[in-house]
Amino acid sequence: MPTISVDQDLLRRFVEQRGRKHDVEDLAFRLPLMGTDIDTCNEDVLDIEIFPDRPDLLSPETLFHGMMPFLHDSPPNPRLLVNPGTISMRVSPELANIRPVILGAVVRGVDIDEEVIKRLMEHQEKLHFALGRGRKRASIGVHDLATISPPFRVEAVDRNHSFIPLAMEDEMTIDEILAEHPKGVDYAHLLDGMDKVPIIFDSKDAVLSFPPIINGDHTTVTTNTRDIFIDVTGLDIRACESALMLICLQLSVLGGKIESVRVNTCEGKEWTLIGSPIEHKVERSLVEGILGNPFTDDQIEDSIRRMGGIYNGDTSGILSISMPRWRFDILHPIDLVEEVAIGHGYDDLSHDVPKAPLTAIPRKDGHLRRRIREALQGLGLIQIQSLTLSNDDDQFNSVRWKPDGAITRMTNPITTEHTILRQNILPGLLRLLAANRHHDLPQGVYELGTVVINHSNTDRFAFLVAENSGGFASLRGRIQALMRDLGCEDWNLEPVEQGPWLAGRAASIVIDGTVIGECGEIDPHVSASFELNVPMSGAQIDIASLSKILQDPVH
């Protein structure tokens, strides 16, 4: 989740300018109710994690705008005041298949210092992540309006076109920028396969921006800047509009006056920034049915006001609610139900009981699973739960296990770390200890969870202990204690060759001739692949095989 750090003095100044008192203790208590997670809140700094569905809280200024109605009962202000401007921007039809959404706005009269520039740049990058999906769906450029000459035009140019990019002294061609400039190297993949790329020119043919890569060097915002031109380009009109409005909102909190820019789009239409809120509709029965609470109009009005919106009334059971146009997260009536719930307060909702009998049926292996957990916890191990998603390196290559039947693969994985459904539990424990290697030894963990073999779910459990002494003798003692607690007396260990184990210090666990799992000391080469360099031992056991052999003492 995106994290922002806010200077409490800055927040205090914003709040007191609105005639309210900034109470740090109250802030720490009530701010999480908005949908944030506080890491630090003291007299000096506020560090918070913003949930991905609230990109409107990613700067100190927009956070302040959102929290004033919620924390200080200020009147909501879902409207962005946009004055009509005289600047225009024409977009070439060639951009329709390159980067079709190109928008702009001007903010005048901003008092800028180094801290403001820093916060503006940080806000841009967070919006690039939260709304822009790494600048693909939306990218933002800010420019000193005094250094450029409107009107502007956006053209598709060949890759041999050259200009001086930001932080450089000499002209570079488009291909050189994509191959050599740090930002070009980072984002060149967004223009793969395109013979032409977008460039924003002013009336004197000076380059403002090469979106989504880099601005021209001469348009840099400095402490002398007072009027700012903002361009937003991308593939998603809604994400681009939200990003533009949030940058404008940030600058308006700092005293800037917003002006519209008339954009002639690549489709031949005219676009200007609209600051008015969007009216949404939701059935009262949906709100009350999901939240299990009847609401008066006053309660709904108060809830929506705290969330920064305006309640327009109820017409034949349909609630009309106006929310800020920059609230990118409101996509469906259920999102309005959530707004009412957050604004009203979850703790204030009524209690209800199920309307249908919900008598549970125990799992066939429920008693065995309970006994396994109790036995492992009795050995001093801590239970953890990791993701079922994994990858080939962790599951097979690094631990030297061969696939156990067909592997279930993700069709469209979003990360190289999550490409398959796991077949083994132990690699997840190794990853966990790697993440906690800065803690003191010994460390002992276990997990009982689902694995997917031949595209079917089954259960396994594993444990792993990192300690400076012990070795295989200690491991055998843990296996012996586990088998005793499970009521198994006839078991033995047999040599095993494959797996993450150290040669000669590993074994298969066999009960009545059936192999139920493996145990051993972890080979240092395997440990090193998980960035670990401490002695470790552990085991992995199949619950389905165990349940077929062991008798359930409860039945």
Per-residue pLDDT reduced to its tens digit, 175-196: 999 999 999 999 999 999 899 9
Task: Give the pLDDT confidence score for residue 553 in this predicted structure.
Answer: 59
Please, what is the angle between helix 237-253 and helix 114-130, to 10°? Answer: 160
Instruction: Tell me the one-letter amino acid at 99.
Output: R
CATH of the domain at 313: 3.30.56.10
pLDDT at 280: 96
24 inside domain: yes
What's the structural domain count of the chain?
Answer: 4
Q: Are residues 32 and 113 in the same domain?
A: no
The HSE-up count of residue 189 (CA atoms within 13 Å, CB side) is 4
How far is Cα 209 from Cα 153, in angstroms, rounded to an integer?
Answer: 11
Q: Are residues 230 and 298 in the same domain?
A: no
Q: d(Cα 280, Cα 312) in Å, to the nearest integer?
A: 10
**pLDDT in single tens digits along all 555 residues of the chain:** 678 899 999 999 999 998 999 999 888 888 888 878 888 899 999 998 888 788 999 999 999 999 999 999 999 999 999 999 999 999 999 999 999 999 999 999 999 999 999 999 999 999 998 899 899 999 999 999 999 999 999 999 999 999 999 988 899 999 999 999 999 999 999 999 899 999 999 999 999 999 999 999 899 999 999 999 999 999 999 999 999 999 999 999 999 999 999 999 999 999 999 999 999 999 999 999 999 889 999 999 999 999 999 999 999 999 999 999 999 899 999 999 999 999 998 888 877 777 777 777 877 778 889 999 999 999 999 999 999 999 999 999 999 999 998 999 998 887 888 999 999 999 999 999 988 888 888 899 999 999 999 999 999 999 999 988 878 889 999 999 999 998 888 899 998 888 999 988 999 999 988 899 999 999 999 999 998 889 999 999 999 888 888 876 555
Residue given tokens 């600051």 in the structure block: 275
Q: Are residues 317 and 440 in the same domain?
A: no
Q: Where a domain ends, among 317, 347, 377?
A: 347
Look up tokens 């919900």; give the residue.
358
Residue 440's pLDDT is 83
Q: Out of 244, 271, 298, pick the residue that ends a domain.
A: 271
Q: 11 and 72 in contact (C-beta within 8 Å)?
A: no
The packing angle between helices 114-130 and 60-72, to 10°, is 80
354 inside domain:
no
What pLDDT score does 555 carry? 53
**pLDDT score of 293:** 86
Single out the residue in 271, 303, 334 at which a domain terminates.
Answer: 271
Q: Which residues contact 500 (CB under 8 A, 6 or more apart)?
A: 398, 399, 400, 401, 426, 430, 520, 522, 523, 526
Do 410 and 468 fall within a single domain?
A: yes
Residues 235 and 330 occupy one common structural domain: no
pLDDT for 313: 95
Provide Rg for the chain, Cα atoms.
30
210 domain-assigned = yes
Evaluate whether 426 touches 361 at the Cβ level (below 8 Å): no
The answer to whether residues 146 and 15 belong to one domain is no
For 57-71, b where at least 16 C-beta lie within 10 A, e where not — what string?
Answer: bbbbbbbbbbbbbbb
Residue whose C-alpha is closest to residue 479's, from 521, 442, 430: 521
- Do 98 and 207 reside in the same domain of the chain? yes
Same domain, 407 and 505: yes
Whether residue 315 is found in the same domain as residue 190: no
Q: Which domain holds residue 315?
A: 278-347
pLDDT of residue 223: 95
Structural domain includes residue 361: no
Three-state DSSP at 520 gives: strand
Same-domain pairing of 127 and 228: yes
Say if CB 267 and CB 95 are below 8 A apart: no
Q: Are 366 and 552 in contact (CB under 8 A)?
A: no
134 and 219 share one domain:
yes
Same domain, 340 and 383: no
Residue 17, amino acid: Q
